[in-house]
Structure 1
Amino acid sequence: MAQTRAGRLAPVVEMAEKAEKTAVQRLGHFQGQVRLAQSKLDDLEAFRLDYQEQWIVRGSGGVSGQWLLGYQGFLAQLGTAIDQQRQSLAWHQNNLNKARDTWQQAFARVEGLRKLVQRYIDEARALEDKREQKLLDELSQRLPRQDQY
């Protein structure tokens, strides 16, 4: 009976393993998205730093008002791009956190089902061992005894 219970759970375990595998793939995808978004943010911030250093170099020699307006306008656009990239990174990190939670739940489900199947298998073995022992006991009692006096 317990053996058949373990057998009946096999498709459920298989489906849970498939869901866990899908969750792992999604987790990997979102980890890549976070790395990419972080890399873009790092690039933008490095570019802004370089651009600000140009101001120091160029500004020390004097600049025209038009150049200053262009510099400030571009720096403002760069700041907006950095803010948007930070929002994008936060969005991707949120997706990563959700994917991690989903994977952890799927993993826990698979592990729980595997333990249940193993318990059913262990119960079936124990029952079979009891049956065997009982049969051996009955057979040994049926054998003629040779008493030595």
Structure 2
Amino acid sequence: MSNPSIDPLMALLGQAERERDTAVALLQQANDSFAAAQSQADQLVAYRGEYEARFREQFKSNNSVSILQCYQGFSSRLTQAIEQQQHIAAHAERKVEQAREDLREQEMRVASVRKLLERRLTEQRIAADRRDQKQTDEFAARAAWAQLQQRSIAA
């Protein structure tokens, strides 16, 4: 059964819940992107450590200038790649925080609409209870009046 005074609130609640669900999905995507970027940065740092350890061994056995130049050039590019990936990870982390804030706002909106809907339903229930009580009181008064009328006729 449709209730015209509640229908707009139900539609608003549905929309707010859909927007909240979208915010949840966006937060998950942002978390996944951040985790992937951070993992890649960590892998680059680990690779650089392995690379440096390998070349330290080669330096011990062969002090060639060309090996040193290769090492320094590659190490420099690797450091740049790590810094770039760390910037990407930091940006992804900021996106996670923004998505988290957006989700909080959407959850607050859903909660507000639910609270308003509950308040309206409570008001309607109270009004219906008052109408029922009024009808019951009127019926009892009529019944009492009819009984009084019957007694006066019988007497």
Query: TM-score, normalised to structure 1's length?
Result: 0.90
Larger relative contact order (Cα-Cα within 8 Å, sequence gap ≥ 6): 1
Q: Distance in 2 between matches of 1:9 and 1:28?
A: 28
Matching of residues 112-123 of structure 1 within 5 Å: 112-123=112-123
Moved more, 54-63 or 102-111: 54-63
Structure 1 residue 52, shift from structure 2 partner: 1.1
Matching of residues 45-124 of structure 1 within 5 Å: 45-124=45-124
* Aligned length in residues: 145
Counterpart residue type for residue 72 of structure 1: Q
What is the aligned-residue identity percentage? 30
Moved more, 48-57 or 35-44: 48-57
SS of residue paired to 2:61: coil
Aligned to 1:127: 127
1:31 aligns with 2:42: no
Per-residue CA deviations over 1:69-88 (Å, capped at 9, x if unaligned) read 10011010000000000100
Per-residue CA deviations over 1:87-135 (Å, capped at 9, x if unaligned) read 0001111111111111111111011001100110011001101111121
Cα RMSD between the aligned structures? 1.6
Structure 1 residue 140, shift from structure 2 partner: 1.4
* Unpaired segments ≥5 residues, structure 1: none
**Runs of 4+ in structure 1 displaced over 3 angstroms?**
144-147
Moved more, 116-125 or 12-21: 12-21
Structure 1 residue 56, shift from structure 2 partner: 2.5
